Each structure stands twice: as C-alpha cells, then as structure tokens.
Amino acid sequence: MTESIADRYRRRAARMTQTVAAVAADRWETFTPCEEWTARDLVRHLVDTQAMFAGFVDRPFEPGPPVADDPLAAWIAARDQTQAALDDPAVAALEFDGFTGRSTFESAVDRFLSFDLVAHRWDLARAAGIDEQIPPDDLAAMQVALEKLTEEMGAAMRGPGAFGPELEPPAGADQQTRVLAFIGRRAW
C-alpha cells in the first residue's frame, strides 16, 4: 500500500517530535549545520514555515507557546495544525500559487515541509549529539526530490533560506553523506 501524504507527514513529524524532545536543555543554543541557526532557531523555523504554508491557503494558524519558552510545545502545536489540515480532504485539496506554480496544500506540504522534516531532523540531531540516521526510505525520497528540484529550480535552490552550496563528499561516502553534501551539509 502506498503511503498517503498525510501519513508520510505524520510519520516524519513523529520522528521530528522525538528528536525535539530528546534535545538536552544545555544544547538548545548549540549551532546546527544550518549557518547561524541554533537548535532553538531551527525549531522556530519549522514552526514558522508550518504557519506560512497555512497562510498560503488562508487557513487560520493559532500560535502555540513561544519557541523561546518551550520548543517542544511550540513544535507540537504547529505540527498538529498542519496534520489536521492534511487529514481534512477539503483543506488538503485547496489550491494556491506557490514557489513552483499552482499547487495543492497537501502537495506543497509533501514537497517542502515534509522534506524539511527529514533534512532538519538531521540538522537538529547533529546539533544535539543524538542519532542522526535518516531512514532509508526517506533518504531515497530525498534523493528523488532533489533531482526534481534541480530540474525545476536549478541554481535558485541554492540561495538564502534554501540549500547551501553543494559540498564534495569523501570518496566512498555512503548515500546519506552524499545526499547531505548535495544540500550543503558536512556529514563527515
């Protein structure tokens, strides 16, 4: 059976939630592989982008607790609102004009927010010093998504707020290291 977009988001968001919950109190100000972002800044980015995507389809987005006070509760509040929108077929099908043309809410979430959950979970895990392994199915999906983004966006995908410059991974690097190097993450 094929995984639905809502279920894929749910699975990836659950993994992100576990990672946010595992960040030790003394690691929130640790810098992530995303230049100039601490672990707390990264969670703020995730929360803000959930709200941004709700705005694309004129959906209300209730702010949760401030990330500065409770990163986990802030993330859960944002995650739950995105999940509820994906679980509602009428909302999931809402259309808007996005970064790459006309899209539905669920398609945009799958392409961007769900992708971010995989990449930024790695970033957060790296900053927190916890398990950084990306599940093989998510890693394969990232590679396919990156190939498609490269075709559609070219160099525009490597600007501020997007991916960093591609890095050259070491010879013999595994798939995770190669994919992360492609999006500008030094995983070695």
DSSP 73-139: HHHHHHHHHHHHHHHSHHHHT-EEEETTEEEEHHHHIIIIIHHHHHHHHHHHHHHHTS--PPPHHHH
Q: Distance between CA atoms of 78 and 63, rounded to whole angstroms? A: 7
pLDDT tens sequence across 110-139: 999 999 999 999 999 999 999 999 999 999
User: Which two tokens mark 172?
Assistant: 């013999």
Per the CB < 8 A criterion, the answer to whether 77 and 63 are in contact is yes
**Do you know the residue count of the chain?**
188
Predicted confidence at residue 151, as pLDDT, reads 86
Measured CA to CA in angstroms, residue 116 lies from 12, 89, 171 at distances of: 9, 22, 27
pLDDT > 90: percent of the chain:
87
Domains and CATH numbers, the chain: 5-114 (1.20.120), 133-188 (no CATH)
Per the CB < 8 A criterion, the answer to whether 158 and 167 are in contact is no
Q: Distance between CA atoms of 84 and 161, rounded to whole angstroms? A: 26
User: Which two tokens mark 165?
Assistant: 């410059």
Predicted confidence at residue 1, as pLDDT, reads 76
